[in-house]
Structure formats: structure tokens, C-alpha cells
Structure 1
Amino acid sequence: MPSGLIPFRVITIALGVTFPATMLPAQSPVPITNAERWLSAVKTPEFTAPATKEDWDKQRTEIRATLQSLLGTFPPRPAVPEVTTISREEKDGYVLEKFRFENGLGMTVPGYLFLPSAPAASGKKSPAILYCHWHGGQYDIGKEELLQTNATPVAAGPALATLGYVVLGIDACCFGERNGEGPGGPTEKGSAGEMTAAKFQLWAGRTLWGVMVRDDLMALDYLCSRPEVDASRMGVTGISMGSTRSWWIMALDDRPRAAVNVACMTRYQDLIQAQNLKAHGIYYFVPGMLQHFDSEAVIALAAPRPMLFMTGDQDTGSPVSGIKAIVERVKPIYQLHGAPGHFENVIYPGVGHVYLPEMWERTVKWMDLHVKSQP
């Protein structure tokens, strides 16, 4: 080749000429992210639906046992917590009771119970909903969310009670009246108190998330025990942290008939890939989980009970790729049960981490259809 001529790639293709590799431009390797490097060292088994329902029943038992083990070591729950009723007030369309119980872990759990003012038709017991409040960095609110619109389009407690539901909600650990009730004392509140509580539980051989879910299950035990409640017709719902609490409750307990989960349909590997672990607080993390499975295995445990998920595609805490991966893996489990319509997922375009009025309407319709209706 004459000196001074530069061998362009387009010319070699047109003329069918082959040049030595040293004369061709070097191909830059595709860079990988830190998240990909870190994930490459974790071998999370792929979750797939087995061939038969019988095989799934066995796998389901194993997954649930693994989850309980990962959450930590806890004393047995009493059949029904010993509850103290603090107050009872007649409101417009409902009765509001405030109560508390001890969780056996050195903590007092305060809660609200909303009872419909109108007695159930023909003396029948009422359907019930366990409502799980969100995080949102709003440590002072907790169960007060049931009476406010900080997270929901309407005050969920009164709204659901006037529709005929008994509604119960508690303060999660570090929230509401429990903000400042951790081992750091009353001056350590908010995220600092949450971090201290998480550290303490790890030293105690359990997780903060395990404490939160166990408290919710104790609240469910109490709800079942109320004479006004039809324990065969109970649902669970919430947004954000409340959503995650809801689908974990469905995974660990077969009593709720249905759930509605707004936001936080989060697949952990996709969240890591999106480099957005910062979107979730320390309360949420369960050591060792990715050694066994991702969140689709937890959500699948609810099958065949009705589950509705609603998430905005701009919600950075729930990457859409992860939502689609969960749906792809969970749908076949519902199909094994012959109930594909019981698992519904709605992705809202252009929507972030919010609870829209349309979402509330869907929530009520789902609960009316799958919880309020007679068995």
C-alpha cells in the first residue's frame, strides 16, 4: 500500500480487501458498572415454576421456611396478643378504638381499629382489612396515615370503615408513637433511630424487617380475634413500605384472602442494576436472601389468592425491568392453580412514587370483589 494512505474500514468492505488487525481501529470493550461487578459474585438461583401444582406445594413450603429463617430467631407469638384498649370514640360513620399490645421483644405496639357504625347486614360479621402504613421518611406519622392524606388520596381508615370494613393498622417499629422508642432512647429519632434498631436486631440474631412483619402478623392475630370480624374475609393493603409489608404478609400467612400493593413491586437484582439501593431504607434488607431467590419467590407464595399491584413507571425504587421479570415468573404459578386472573399488575406511564385517586378506586373494587364478597 502506498505510504500516506489511511485504510478506512468502509473501503476495505467495499473492495473485499483484508488488512492486518494491527491496521484496524481497536474495538473498545463494553464497560461494566460497579453494580454488575458486585452482582457477578452473587449466584442467585433462577426462580421458575415447576411442572405441577404438587411440586409447587413442596417448593412453596421450602421457600416459606427459608424466609422465616432469614428473618431471624424470634420467640413464638401468642395465639392472640394481650391487647389493652386505650380509648373508644364514636365518629361520623364509624367507631375508632385506640389500643396497644406488647410484642414480646421489649416493645409496645400501638394501633387503631376502625369499626363500621352500621351493624353488618343480618347480624353477619364484617369483612376486614389490615392496613400497613408507608415509610416516606415520615417517622412521626405511622398509623396516623389512616386518618390523613399524606400518602393516600383519602383517609383510608374512615373511608374503608364507612364502606363496611373493619380496619386495623399499627405503628411499625420506629414510626408514630414508636419513633424515639428504640434502644437509643427518646432523643434518637428518625433515620438515626431506625439505624440503631436495625443494628440492635442484627446483634440479637434477627432483622428489623422481621420485627416489622412479625408485629403485623400479631396485629392480624388480633384482627381475627375480634367478634365483629369475619376472619375468612380479610385483606391487606398499603403503599410503599406498606405495600412490601402487605406482600410479605401474604407470603408468610395464608389467612388474608387478597392484597392490593401500591408501589414497591421491587426485584432486588434489578434495583441493584439500576444503582438505586439508596431508594429503600435499612429496615428493608434481609441478609442472605439473594443466595436463595429474588422477590418473585416471595410474591409467588400468595398464589392463588388475588393480588393487585399498581406501580408508576417513573418510580425509581421499582425498576420496570424488575416488575416485568416478577410478572413473567409469578404468572405461571397462578396458572398452575388455574387462577391467572387473580394476579394483576398495572404499570402507570409517567407516574412516580404516588397513590393516584384511580389507584384508590381500583383498590376498593378489588377488595369488594375478593374480600367483601361471601366465600
Structure 2
Amino acid sequence: MTHAEGRESAAPAPAAPVPSGYESPAVVDGGLPVFHERLKSELTFPLAWGASPIRDFPAWRETARATVEQHLLHPPDDTPFAPETTDEQHADGYRRRTVLFNLTRLSRVRALMLVPDGQGPHPAVLLLHDHGSRFDIGKEKLVRPWYDRERLASARAWVGRCFGGRFVGDELARRGWAVLAVDAPGWGDRSGLTYESQQALAANLFNLGSSPAGLMAREDQRAAAFLASLPEVDAERIAALGFSMGAYRAWQTAALSGHIRAAVAACWMTGLKEMMVPGDNALRGQSAYFMLHPGLARHLDIPDVASIAAPKPLYLTGGSDDPLFTAAGVEAAYRKLRAVWRSQHAEDRLHTETRPGLGHVFTPGMQDDAFAWLDAWAGRPGQPERPGRREPER
């Protein structure tokens, strides 16, 4: 019998029976492991305010912030900023500046700053851009790029889609606010990312002892400190503002930076367990790496991190039809936040809303209401006294 004949005559081996209770497949739709409900049940968030044995709120805030800092996987940075203004132009009621400065020991960046006409120092807003899987523009999503026609065309399309055709930074500057916008790593001047390459970036940063979310959090802290150092800015009246991923960055920076005294966050707040459900956008990975601090969920829920900002004024807004967040997740987070601010007798400093019929957008109407809230907080002329005015740095 030939070798070939031997192969042909060999009887196929019978299929092995599947043992009773055998786990298969290893994952379900959306990338969730089959045992995800068991893992979720283990997330009790023991460091959350009210669950933690620490009953003194300032002591809890210090402990919770230190826990978050530990999970950033990126060390603090005190590199001198060494700023340089390379361009300044006059606009309608304000000046446009291009500023270079050392964001960290690793990166010197080009930022956009708008400064209102008139005598300062001015109240200021740190503008934090969204993700949107659009990497050719970052800071230009919020400040009109006067210096680049190609980016201007891209930015106009973006603000038409997300902001009702309005550049949020330019509108704030016309209203008397100084603003600063910086690219996150991977966007605008620092671009080079694609949707698919985010996983490789995350893996490589993890191997280098860092993470995308931790690096971005540190950079946002540094941008807030830079803004507070400028003579044109009133360091006691600096807010953070962002949409989508920028909203996450806004409340996170308020929680981690003493320079940020208030925050406006549009379309990013949820409970973690309510987010980890089949079909949720975060389950696709990729963009989630910029909002994921490995291991932190063993200690704190998402709104628990935002609660570190209490009792600072915080304005949260979003749409009822936002496809990125479940209604249950938003309400669970709002409920936690309200309990924290209430415990500090600061209910008037927290604004939470869900606007009916709106999706993942920050419309001019939403903006106008948020800007009015900022004016009230800052004690602008003709506006009521702001909640928490002259709140000491925390």
C-alpha cells in the first residue's frame, strides 16, 4: 500500500464530545467575555463617596484623587512652559494667537489662544476637543483656524455637524472669555492616528509604562496650569469645557486640577456598568482607550471620578437620543453626582440635564445656556453672583 493509499483509507477520528457546562465561545457579540456579568458583579466601587469608610469629604477627595493619579500610569510633570507667541491677529472683539509651549517634558506643542479686547485679566476657558474618529483637526474643532484653508474647510464641516455651525471658542471670545485649545496626542498638528491604529498606540504606550488616557489626562492638567500662568487670565476664574470626549476631559480635569474651578461637559457621562452592555459604542475598543484607566474600576465608578471635583460648579448636558449612552447609564451617573453635591450642601453648583429629542450634539441653544451659566459663575457684569465665587483652590 502506498503512502497516499494509506492516507485515503484512514478513518476520520470521531468528534470529541463537548463536556457539560463547557464555556464556548470565548466572547459574545461586541467583544464582551461570556463571563462579563460575573465580572461586573465584582465591581462594587469601594472607594466611592458614601461607600468608602472615609467620612471626611476633603480626606476622601484627597484619597480618591491619589488613587486616580496612580492609575494614570504617567508621572506628574513640572517642565517649564517656555511659551512663545508666533502669530497674533485681530478679529471681531478679540485677538487670535498661535502659542508654542512645553506641554510636558515629552512634547512642545502649538496651541491656539483667543484673548478678548480690553483690559484683563479675563475669565478663561480651557477648551477640550472631542474624538469623533476625525484626526486631521483637534483644536480646530473649537477655534476657527485662520491660518490654514484646508483645515478651515474640515473644521467648518465638523462644527456644522456637531455645533450648529458655530466655533465655540470664537463665540466665547466674543463674549469676553479668553480661551486656550491644544491638540491631544494623535490630532491636528500631532495627528497620525487612524481609527484602527489606536489599538497599537495603546499597546505601545502600555509597554512603555503609560496609557493614552493617562497621557491625555496629564496633558490636560498641564494645559490648565499653563492657562493659569498667563497674565491675561484671571487664575480664579478658569473653567474647562468640552463636547463628547472633550466633555469627559472637562470633568476629569476639574477633578484632577486645582486650576480648573468649574466645568461644562456636553454629551459624556454614564455609569460604567450601564455602559458595558451589548451594542454600546465603547465595547468596540479603539476610541475607548483614551477614556480607560486600567484597573481604576476596581475602586471608582465613572461618576465617582467626576465627584472628586465637588463642590466645584459642574454643568452636565446631553440629548435623550444620544446613541452613545443609554438613558439608564446617564441617569445612574446623574443620581450619584447629585448625591455627592447634596452631601456637601452644594446642590446649586451642580446642573444635570437631558434634553429631549437631541442626539450627540452641542447645539447653539445648548451652548447659549451653558455660556449664560458660565457668565453667572464668573460674576460677569450684569450677571448674578456665581455659585461658589472665589472658591479656594482644591
TM-score by length of structure 2 reads: 0.78
Q: How does 1:306-321 map to 2 (within 5 A)?
A: 306-321=313-328
User: Which has the larger displacement, 127-136 or 311-320?
Assistant: 311-320
**Contact between 1:49 and 1:332, CA under 8 Å: does it hold in 2?**
no
Corresponding residue for residue 152 of structure 1: 163
Corresponding residue for residue 149 of structure 2: none
**Contact between 1:81 and 1:221, CA under 8 Å: does it hold in 2?**
no
Identical amino acids, percent of aligned pairs:
27
Change (3 A) 1:53 1:364: farther
Gaps of 5+ in 1: 1-31, 181-188
Partner residue of 1:40 out of 17, 38, 42: 38
**CA drift at 1:197:** 2.7
Corresponding residue for residue 352 of structure 1: 359
- Tell me, what secondary structure is at the counterpart of 2:98? strand
Size of the aligned set, in residue pairs, is: 331
**CA drift at 1:338:** 1.2
**Contact between 2:320 and 2:357, CA under 8 Å: does it hold in 1?**
yes
Partner residue of 1:143 out of 139, 144, 147: 139
Corresponding residue for residue 217 of structure 1: 221
Corresponding residue for residue 22 of structure 2: none
1:165 and 2:161 correspond: no
1:262 and 2:269 correspond: no
**Contact between 1:271 and 1:319, CA under 8 Å: does it hold in 2?**
yes
**CA drift at 1:59:** 1.7
Partner residue of 1:296 out of 300, 303, 309: 303
- Tell me, what secondary structure is at the counterpart of 2:195? helix
What is the letter of the counterpart of residue 271 of structure 1?
A: M
**CA drift at 1:309:** 0.8
**CA drift at 1:207:** 1.1
Change (3 A) 1:159 1:294: same
- Tell me, what secondary structure is at the counterpart of 2:100? strand
Change (3 A) 1:201 1:366: same
Corresponding residue for residue 190 of structure 2: 178
CA deviation vs aligned residue, 1:10-59 (integer Å, no higher than 9, x gap) = xxxxxxxxxxxxxxxxxxxxxx9967831312411243537999622222
**Contact between 2:94 and 2:115, CA under 8 Å: does it hold in 1?**
yes
Gaps of 5+ in 2: 1-27, 145-155, 381-388
Corresponding residue for residue 232 of structure 1: 236
Cα distance in 2 for residues equivalent to 1:233 and 1:97: 20
Corresponding residue for residue 96 of structure 1: 96
Q: What value does the CA root-mean-square deviation take over the aligned residues?
A: 2.3
1:74 and 2:75 correspond: yes
Change (3 A) 1:213 1:190: same
User: Which has the larger displacement, 325-334 or 163-172?
Assistant: 325-334
Corresponding residue for residue 335 of structure 2: 328
What is the letter of the counterpart of residue 164 of structure 1?
A: G
**Contact between 1:314 and 1:350, CA under 8 Å: does it hold in 2?**
yes
Cα distance in 1 for residues equivalent to 2:240 and 2:279: 30
What is the letter of the counterpart of residue 109 of structure 1?
A: V
Cα distance in 1 for residues equivalent to 2:228 and 2:347: 28
**CA drift at 1:318:** 1.8
**CA drift at 1:61:** 1.2
Corresponding residue for residue 18 of structure 1: none
Change (3 A) 1:140 1:111: same
Cα distance in 1 for residues equivalent to 2:140 and 2:205: 25
Bigger Rg over Cα: 1
**Contact between 1:143 and 1:171, CA under 8 Å: does it hold in 2?**
yes
User: Which has the larger displacement, 162-171 or 189-198?
Assistant: 189-198
Change (3 A) 1:206 1:372: farther
CA deviation vs aligned residue, 1:304-340 (integer Å, no higher than 9, x gap) = 1111111112223221111111122221221222111
What is the letter of the counterpart of residue 187 of structure 2?
A: F
Cα distance in 2 for residues equivalent to 1:72 and 1:160: 34
**CA drift at 1:220:** 1.2
Corresponding residue for residue 56 of structure 1: 57
**Contact between 2:276 and 2:283, CA under 8 Å: does it hold in 1?**
no
**CA drift at 1:264:** 1.1
**Contact between 2:311 and 2:344, CA under 8 Å: does it hold in 1?**
yes
CA deviation vs aligned residue, 1:82-139 (integer Å, no higher than 9, x gap) = 222221111222111112223445333221010012x13xxx5210000111111110
**Contact between 2:182 and 2:223, CA under 8 Å: does it hold in 1?**
yes
Partner residue of 1:203 out of 207, 220, 231: 207
Change (3 A) 1:39 1:67: farther
